[in-house]
Structure 1
Amino acid sequence: MFSDGALRPAARQSAVLNPWNGETVGSVPADTPRELDDAIRRIRAAWRPLSPRRRAEVLRGAAALLGERAAETSTLITGESGVCVKETRKEIERAVANLTVAAEETERLRGESIPIPGQDRLAVTVLEPVGVVAALTPFNRPLNQVVVKVAPAIAAGCPIVLKPSEKTPLTALAFAGLLMEAGLPPEQLVVTTGDPGLIGPALAGHPEVDMVTFTGSVATGRAVSAAAAGKRLLLELGGNDPLIVLRDADLELAVRLAAEGAFATAGQSCRGIKRVIAVEEIADELVAGLAEAARGKRAGDPLDPATDLGPLISQEAAAEVERRVLDAVAAGAKPMCGGERRGSLLAPVVLDQVPREAELVVEETFGPVAPVIRVRDAAEAVSVANGTRYGLQAGVVTSDAMAFLRIAAELRVGAVNLNAGPHFDSPHIPFGGVKDSGLGREGIRYSTREMSVTKTITLPLP
C-alpha cells in the first residue's frame, strides 16, 4: 500500500482496466486486512497535528502542483475511468479550487468565548482534529471525490486512511505522491487498495479510526454504517435528482441545463439530472429541444478532444442502464433518440412520457439518460420529485420567484437551485442530502467542521 510516503511492494497485484478498450492501464497492490491493520496503528502512533499555517502551505502547494500537471493527470483519469478529457480537465479545475478553498478554511477554524451567566467564569471553545479519518471513495470523478475528503481532513489536522474505488485507484495514488511533494508528512496519509469486500469493512470498523467518510451506494453505505457503529459518520449515498420545468420557464435554458446535467460524465454523477419533470404545456417543445441537443453529443473515444461522452465504467454498468431504458419503453415511455449500446458505450438517451413508477426513474440510474415525466402543475411536480427514497439536490426552471420559493420549501432535498440544475456545485457551499441520500454535509468548510471536535475550556474571571 501507499504508506510512509511511498507505494510499497506487494505480494499480489490487482489490474486496473480501461473501460473504453479493456486494456490494462496499471496495477495496484492487493492489500490484506492484516496489512491495513498494521498501517492504521502506525499512522495513529505517529500522528502529531500540524500547525494551521503548515496545513495551509501543504494544500496551496498541492493546488499549484496539480495545476502544473493538469494535462498528464487528465489523461490518467480518462485512462482508468473512461470519462472524456473534456470532463476530466474540468475535474482538475474543481480539484484545484477545492484545495485552494481548503487552505483558506484552515485559517478560519475558530472557536468562541462565552461569558457564563451568573458565574464569574469564562468559557472558551477551540476546534481540534477529530482523529484518524477513513475515507472511502467511488469510481466516478476519481480525483475530485478524493480531494473533497482528503483536503478537509488535512485542513482540520487529521491523518487520513484513503480507500479509493478498486476500479479507479491510480489517480488517488498519484495524488498521494503529489501531497508528499507538497510537504504533507509521510505519517499523515495511507492509501490502501485491494478487495473492497475485505478492505472496506476492516477500515470502517477499525478501532483506531475515529471518523468514516464515504461516498457510494445506499446498500454499501448501510454496510459501512454498521461496521463503523459508534464513530462519527459523513455519508453521501447518491440521488435521483430532478430538474423541474414550469410553464413560464426559459426553455432554451431548460434544454441546456437538462442536457448538461443528464449527459455529463456519461450520466455517472450523484448530482446529475436523473429526471426531467415538465409541466404539460411546455413538454413538447422541451422534449424536442432536448432530443436535438442529445443528437448533437458525440459519444466515443474519451481521449479524443471532440468527444462529449465516453463509456460507462464497465459493460455490465452499461447493460444495466440499457435494460432499465428498455423496461421503461415497454411500460409506455416514448423513445426520442439514443440508446444504442456498443460494449460499455451508450449513446445519450431521451425518453418522453416516462411512467413515474418505472425503475429507471424510481432508482438512481447511472448513465446518459434524460427521462421526461409530464405533470399537470407545480404541485404534481413536487409530488413526483419527492416520490423516491432519495433527496439530494434539485433544480427548478421558472420566472416566478414566489413559485420557486414555495417549491423549494416543499421539496425534501439538501439543496434547490433556481434556474440551475441539481448538478450546480461550488466548494463554498454545503453538499449533502436527506432520506436515503446520506448523512452530514460535504463542501470544504462544512466537511472541515465535520472532521473537527469542539473542546470547551473554562477559567475564572479576575
Structure 2
Amino acid sequence: MKTSYRAIIGREFIDSDEKIEVKNPLNDSILTRVAVAGEELFSNAIEKGISAQREYIRMPIYERAAVLLKASEEITKNKEHLARIITLESGKPIKDARAEVDRASIVFRVAYSLCEEERGEFISLEKNPVSKRHFGIVRRFPLGLGIGITPFNFPLNLVAHKIAPALASGNAIIIKPASKTPVSALLLADILNSAGLMDGMLSVLPSRPEVIERILAQNNSIKYLTFTGSSSVGWHLKSLFPKKKVLLELGGNAGLIIDRDVEIASVVKKAVYGAFAYSGQICISVQRIFVHRDIFDKFLDTFVAATQELRLGDPLSENVDIGPIIDRQSIEKIISIIDEAKRGGAKVLTGGEVVDNILKPIVLTNTKPDMKVNSQEIFGPVVSIERIESIEEGIECVNSSIYGLQAGIFTNNIYNAFLAYEKIETGGVIVNNIPTFRSDNMPYGGIKESGFGREGVRYAMEELTEPRLMVLNLNV
C-alpha cells in the first residue's frame, strides 16, 4: 500500500489539503492517507460526468461491453494485490478477501453479458378501433449521472455493484467510498481507466458526510443515488433526494429457522460461518437462530463447540477465521448491547473477550425479542439461539424484526420450505442455506427498514434506467 492516495475524477488524480487517515483495524496503525474531496471537486466531477455520459450513450454497445470484460479480467489478474489491500484496510481475513475479489470480477463479467444482450419490446396497441395499426416500441434509457455511496465491509465488491450496472446501462457515476476503506475503490477506478473506460464516466471521491448531503440537496444534475449502509443514514439521504431515483440497500438482523429433520453437523457448520464470517460485519449475517425444540439442545451444544474452534488472529494469516472489528468504537457498542442482554437475563454461552481489537464470537440464549441483540442490527460476531415449538412460531419470530433483508430455513419438508417463502417478510428467503448467501446476479434488497429497490446486476440496471415508449401509427 502506498503512503498516500489521491482522489480520482475521470482519469485525473486530484490531491487536496485535507486527508483521511486509513488505519489497520488490527492495531490502529496508520496505513495511508487519502485526499478528501470538497464541494468544488464534486462540482468538477459532476460537470465532467454529465459531459462524458452524453457521449457514452452514443458509443456502440460492443465497445461498452468490451471495457467491462477487460475490467473483469484485470481484477482477476490483480487478485492477490487487491485481496491484500482489502485485508489491510478492512481487517477481513485474507481468504475471504480473495473471495471478494473473485465476486467483483464476476460482477463485471455479468454486466458485460447483460450489456451485450440489451433488449427492448415491440407491442401491438390494437385494442380498439382508435388504435388500429398502432404499435409500440419500448426501450430503457439511462437516468444520467448518479452518486454511489458504499460501506466499509465489502470495499471492492459493493463498489463493483454500484459501478458495473451503472456503466452497463449507460450511466455515469461518482463513488463516495467508506472513509475507513477507500483504497480498494480507488484501485478499482484505476483498473477501469486502464481497461479503456471513457474519461469522466467514473469518479471516486472520498469525502465527508456533510459534503454529500449538501451535494444531494442542492445539485439537480444528479439523477440517482445508490446507497449501501445503515438504515438511519440511508433513509435520511432519501429524504434529501425526494424527487429522484434512490436505491437503498440497508441493514438487517437476519433470522434463521432450523427444522427438526435436518442433519445437525452440516447445518451448524454453515450457520457458524453465517453468524461469524468477517466478524459478523455483514448486513445479512445470521444474528437470530430459531431451532425446533426436538433438536434444540443438541444443536446448541454443537454450535457452541464449533464456535469455540474458530481461529482468531492476524487476518493476513492463511488459517485465520476471525479478524478484528473495524474500530474500537464499534467494539464498545457491541459490548454494551451484550451487557444489556445479560442484565435482562440472557446467558452468554461463549465469547466476549477482546484481544487486539478482535472480539471473540459470542453465542447467547435465553434472550427476549425486545433486547437489542434481537431488535437491532449488531454488526458484530454475535448470535442468539432460541427454542421454537413449530415452524410457524419460527416465522413469527423472524417477522418480529423491523428489518426485512434476507432470512433462511433449513428443512427437508417441502411444505415448510414454501410456507417460509410465502410467510416470511423479507426480500429473500434462502432454503437450506444461510441468509448470508448471495450470488451476484440474483435480486438483492429488502423491505421494511432494510431498504428500497433491488441490486444484483440485472435488477440494478433496471433501477438505473427508465422505460420510454415510441408509438408508431402505420395508417399514414
Asked if these proteins are the same fold (TM beyond 0.5), I'd say yes
TM-score category of the 2 structures, normalised to the smaller one: over 0.9
Deviates more, 1:324-333 or 1:240-249: 324-333
- Conservation of the 8 A alpha-carbon contact between 2:52 and 2:172: no
Instruction: After TM superposition, list the pairs within 5 Å mapping 1:211-230 onto structure 2.
Output: 211-230=224-243
Deviates more, 1:63-72 or 1:348-357: 348-357
Instruction: After TM superposition, list the pairs within 5 Å mapping 1:51-450 onto structure 2.
Output: 51-117=60-126, 118=128, 119=131, 120-203=133-216, 206-450=219-463
- Conservation of the 8 A alpha-carbon contact between 2:359 and 2:381: yes
Structure 2, unmatched stretches of 5+, are 1-6
**Distance (whole Å) between structure 2 residues aligned to residue 326 and residue 341 of structure 1:** 14
Per the TM alignment, residue 218 of structure 1 is displaced from its structure 2 partner at its CA by 1.1
**Distance (whole Å) between structure 1 residues aligned to residue 185 and residue 50 of structure 2:** 21
AA matched with 2:85: L
**Distance (whole Å) between structure 1 residues aligned to residue 341 and residue 103 of structure 2:** 35
Per the TM alignment, residue 192 of structure 1 is displaced from its structure 2 partner at its CA by 1.0
Per the TM alignment, residue 197 of structure 1 is displaced from its structure 2 partner at its CA by 2.6
Query: Alignment partner for residue 20 of structure 1, among 7, 16, 26?
Result: 26
**Distance (whole Å) between structure 1 residues aligned to residue 156 and residue 217 of structure 2:** 21
Equivalent residue number for residue 3 of structure 2: none
- Conservation of the 8 A alpha-carbon contact between 2:45 and 2:200: no
- Conservation of the 8 A alpha-carbon contact between 2:27 and 2:357: no
Per the TM alignment, residue 253 of structure 1 is displaced from its structure 2 partner at its CA by 2.7
- Conservation of the 8 A alpha-carbon contact between 1:6 and 1:177: no
Alpha-carbon displacement from aligned partner over 1:296-319 (angstroms, at most 9, x marks no partner): 111111111111111111011012
Q: Secondary structure at the match of 1:270?
A: coil
- Conservation of the 8 A alpha-carbon contact between 1:56 and 1:107: yes
Q: Secondary structure at the match of 2:33?
A: strand
- Conservation of the 8 A alpha-carbon contact between 1:204 and 1:212: no
Equivalent residue number for residue 50 of structure 2: 44
- Conservation of the 8 A alpha-carbon contact between 1:239 and 1:390: yes
Alpha-carbon displacement from aligned partner over 1:307-334 (angstroms, at most 9, x marks no partner): 1111111011012112212221222222
Structure 1, unmatched stretches of 5+, are none
AA matched with 1:287: L
Per the TM alignment, residue 348 of structure 1 is displaced from its structure 2 partner at its CA by 1.1
Query: Alignment partner for residue 30 of structure 1, among 5, 29, 36?
Result: 36
**Distance (whole Å) between structure 2 residues aligned to residue 83 and residue 390 of structure 1:** 25
- Conservation of the 8 A alpha-carbon contact between 1:333 and 1:353: yes
Q: Secondary structure at the match of 1:187?
A: coil
**Distance (whole Å) between structure 2 residues aligned to residue 339 and residue 11 of structure 1:** 41
Per the TM alignment, residue 157 of structure 1 is displaced from its structure 2 partner at its CA by 1.0
Q: Number of residue pairs matched?
A: 462
Alignment TM-score, normalising by the size of structure 1: 0.97
**Distance (whole Å) between structure 2 residues aligned to residue 41 and residue 204 of structure 1:** 17
**Distance (whole Å) between structure 1 residues aligned to residue 272 and residue 95 of structure 2:** 15
Runs of 4+ in 1 over 6 A off after TM superposition: none
- Conservation of the 8 A alpha-carbon contact between 2:52 and 2:198: no
Per the TM alignment, residue 46 of structure 1 is displaced from its structure 2 partner at its CA by 3.3
Alpha-carbon displacement from aligned partner over 1:130-169 (angstroms, at most 9, x marks no partner): 1112100011110011001111001101111110011110
CA RMSD of aligned residues (A): 1.4
Alpha-carbon displacement from aligned partner over 1:154-185 (angstroms, at most 9, x marks no partner): 11011111100111101000100000011111
- Conservation of the 8 A alpha-carbon contact between 1:259 and 1:370: no
Per the TM alignment, residue 102 of structure 1 is displaced from its structure 2 partner at its CA by 0.8
**Distance (whole Å) between structure 1 residues aligned to residue 165 and residue 214 of structure 2:** 23
AA matched with 2:93: C
**Distance (whole Å) between structure 2 residues aligned to residue 55 and residue 256 of structure 1:** 42
Sort the Cα spacing of 1:400 and 1:204 in 2 relative to 1 into closer, same or farther, 3 A: farther
- Conservation of the 8 A alpha-carbon contact between 1:84 and 1:309: yes
Is residue 7 of structure 1 aligned with residue 16 of structure 2?
no
- Conservation of the 8 A alpha-carbon contact between 2:427 and 2:445: yes
Alpha-carbon displacement from aligned partner over 1:328-355 (angstroms, at most 9, x marks no partner): 1222222221111125210111112222
Alignment TM-score, normalising by the size of structure 2: 0.94
